[in-house]
Structure 1
Amino acid sequence: MADGTMTGRRPMRHAGRVATHVVLIIGAIVMVGPFVWQLLTSLKAFSETTRVPPTFLPDRWEWSNYLQVFDLLPLGDMFRNTVLMTAGRTLAQLAFCSLAAYAFARLRFRGNNLLFGLFLSVLMVPSQLFLIPQYVIVQDLGWVNTLPGLIVPGMFSAFGTFLLRQFFLALPRDMEEAARLDGANPLQVFWHVALPLARPGLLALTILTALWSWNDFMYPLVVTTDPAKMPLSAGLGTLQGEHFTDYSILMAGSALATAPMVVAFILLQRHFIQGIAFTGSKG
């Protein structure tokens, strides 16, 4: 009887695994499909990009579209601006968010939870509401069309503080207490004990901040008007005209701008998944 039950369960388990893999394959196609379409469109002539019904493969592979992107845009300057903006924002958020998160997680002071709740309330405000005040401040400081104007407003993050606070809360206190018994002050405990243990969280915040900074479009478009001072996201926006847009050139530029982040995510996806999974281990 037991053997018959086990035999009956095996086809059910096999069918469940097949169904799971079918769903995952469909999800992968849905996720990868836009990138494939982007690459194929970047290699088409303009007449093919507006053809109805659309064609999947190009009639002729137009590799020259990528060269035209460099002719239309100062792509080297934009790439440099994007790298510097992303690096500056990421390093600053790692510093400020880790310090604030450790204070909220480990230091006991009056109003800790209330202050943290007010801090998180920033997440409920749409980022678009900050555009005009940020622009006014940047303009008054003379930072329009400058790297500081791109970097400084992105140096702080309520989400990054929340993310790292979850990591610090999940860390065991034994090593920190041992360090205090050895005479370490709170800053030394943070630097030598807590921060190394929070490496997965720091890596997760690094990836999230880098992706957000690399793809940030609206704010850089507002505070930069010189193409040589724009990051890639804002620069590519200038390829879209009011009455005419060459989609093959636009997709070629988008593919060049996307490639570095895709490669970085592929190389670091294991750390990214581990970091996000560990974040939810303790509230």
Structure 2
Amino acid sequence: MTAESAPARRRTGPGLVSRVGIVVVGIGFVFPFLWMFATSLKPSLEVLSSGGSLLGSRVEWSNYSAVWTATPFARILLNSFLVAAGGALLAVTVSLLSAYAFARLRFRYRDRLFLVFLGTLVLPQEILVIPLYIMASRAEMVNTYAALILPFAFGAFGAFMLRQFLLTLPRDYEEAARIDGAGQLRILLHVIAPLLRAPLAIVGAFLFIEYWNSFLWPLIIIYDQEMATLPLGLQMFSGERGTDWGPLMAAATLAVIPSLLIVVAMQKQLAHGVNLGGFGGR
């Protein structure tokens, strides 16, 4: 009896520690969102004076109505959705084409060019904004949706992820399609793309969130309030007279909801995609 229970205790111990650790880390991630939501329901004057209390003297639901009246929030939401959806769609298309070229096509210096392509991931956005702004200005694209979408739709992140997935796929289907007379484009669209449906959705989700949260580039390229995206819209609650914390937190809470919904809906696919995309294939 004792001999059988000892291994069970040894197995239970690490499992319990892991569960406790997961709960602690989960609370650490959730608490900032809980604090933000609680702050959005406080009177603005009590946000900084209430100390560590989550609750104010009263529940101020008017902060949420103020978000829609103090700023063109509906227009800002529409702008963010159009930019994030359009940018993600274009970036996924470009990433699929790039991944197929680097994984399946044979051409000189392919692997070296891919390493150079990956090297662009280490370049901070602050280095790129000046030349990008100059090019956008010469192309008369400043303060347009095209300027918000195009410059960062040709990054290496999506191409790298999809290439890793492609390297794990057998070539049998492609060879069969090639024997039937299919060209490269037809193979890509009718054979490869259906097999990569889940990875394409994962990469699209990552890119959508990246566009949704982008702040520096829209801050530089947009000067009209009607073209502002959500990160710029949040900045409108801060001015010379100070920051209106209640409506600001309410707007931030609304801005986070789409990203949270995407992550919750695709959590299994995202975890699987990160593991397989990072370590699958060679």
Say yes or no: TM over 0.5. yes
Residue 93 of structure 2 is aligned to residue 111 of structure 1 = no
Partner Cα separation in structure 2 for residue 65 and residue 178 of structure 1: 61
With structure 2 as the length reference, what TM-score do the two structures score? 0.95
1:149 pairs with one of 134, 140, 147 = 147
- Residues 133-158 of structure 1, C-alpha deviations (whole Å, 9 max, x = no match): 11122222222221111111122111
Partner in structure 1 of residue 272 of structure 2: 274
Partner in structure 2 of residue 65 of structure 1: 63
- Residues 245-278 of structure 1, C-alpha deviations (whole Å, 9 max, x = no match): 1211110110111112212221222222222232
Residue 222 of structure 2 is aligned to residue 224 of structure 1 = yes
Partner in structure 1 of residue 4 of structure 2: 6
Partner in structure 1 of residue 38 of structure 2: 40
Q: How does 1:1-283 map to 2 (within 5 A)?
A: 4-51=2-49, 53-241=51-239, 244-279=242-277, 280-283=279-282
Partner Cα separation in structure 2 for residue 236 and residue 225 of structure 1: 15
Q: Which residue identity lines up with residue 138 of structure 1 in the other structure?
A: A
Partner Cα separation in structure 1 for residue 202 and residue 196 of structure 2: 10
Partner Cα separation in structure 1 for residue 161 and residue 262 of structure 2: 21
Kept in 2: contact 1:48–1:55 (CA 8 A): no
4+ residue runs over 4 A deviation: none
Report the 3-state secondary structure (helix = DSSP H, G, I; strand = E; otherwise coil) of the residue aligned with 1:36.
Answer: helix
Kept in 2: contact 1:73–1:227 (CA 8 A): no
Kept in 2: contact 1:46–1:247 (CA 8 A): yes
Partner Cα separation in structure 1 for residue 186 and residue 119 of structure 2: 30
Q: Which residue identity lines up with residue 185 of structure 1 in the other structure?
A: G
Report the 3-state secondary structure (helix = DSSP H, G, I; strand = E; otherwise coil) of the residue aligned with 2:242.
Answer: coil
Partner Cα separation in structure 2 for residue 185 and residue 106 of structure 1: 13
Identity %: 36
Q: Which residue identity lines up with residue 102 of structure 1 in the other structure?
A: Y
CA-based RMSD of the aligned residues comes to 1.4
Partner Cα separation in structure 1 for residue 2 and residue 105 of structure 2: 60
Kept in 2: contact 1:145–1:224 (CA 8 A): yes
Partner Cα separation in structure 2 for residue 5 and residue 94 of structure 1: 57
Between 29-38 and 9-18, the greater mean CA deviation after superposition = 9-18
Report the 3-state secondary structure (helix = DSSP H, G, I; strand = E; otherwise coil) of the residue aligned with 2:259.
Answer: helix
Shift in Å, 1:52: 5.5
With structure 1 as the length reference, what TM-score do the two structures score? 0.95
Partner Cα separation in structure 2 for residue 178 and residue 5 of structure 1: 58
Partner Cα separation in structure 1 for residue 155 and residue 6 of structure 2: 53
Shift in Å, 1:63: 0.2
Kept in 2: contact 1:200–1:274 (CA 8 A): no
Between 114-123 and 272-281, the greater mean CA deviation after superposition = 272-281
Kept in 1: contact 2:215–2:231 (CA 8 A): yes
- Residues 65-124 of structure 1, C-alpha deviations (whole Å, 9 max, x = no match): 011111211011111110110111111111111011101001111110111111111112
Kept in 1: contact 2:88–2:153 (CA 8 A): yes
Shift in Å, 1:4: 4.5
Q: Flag structure 2 segments of 5+ consecutive residues without an equivalent.
A: none
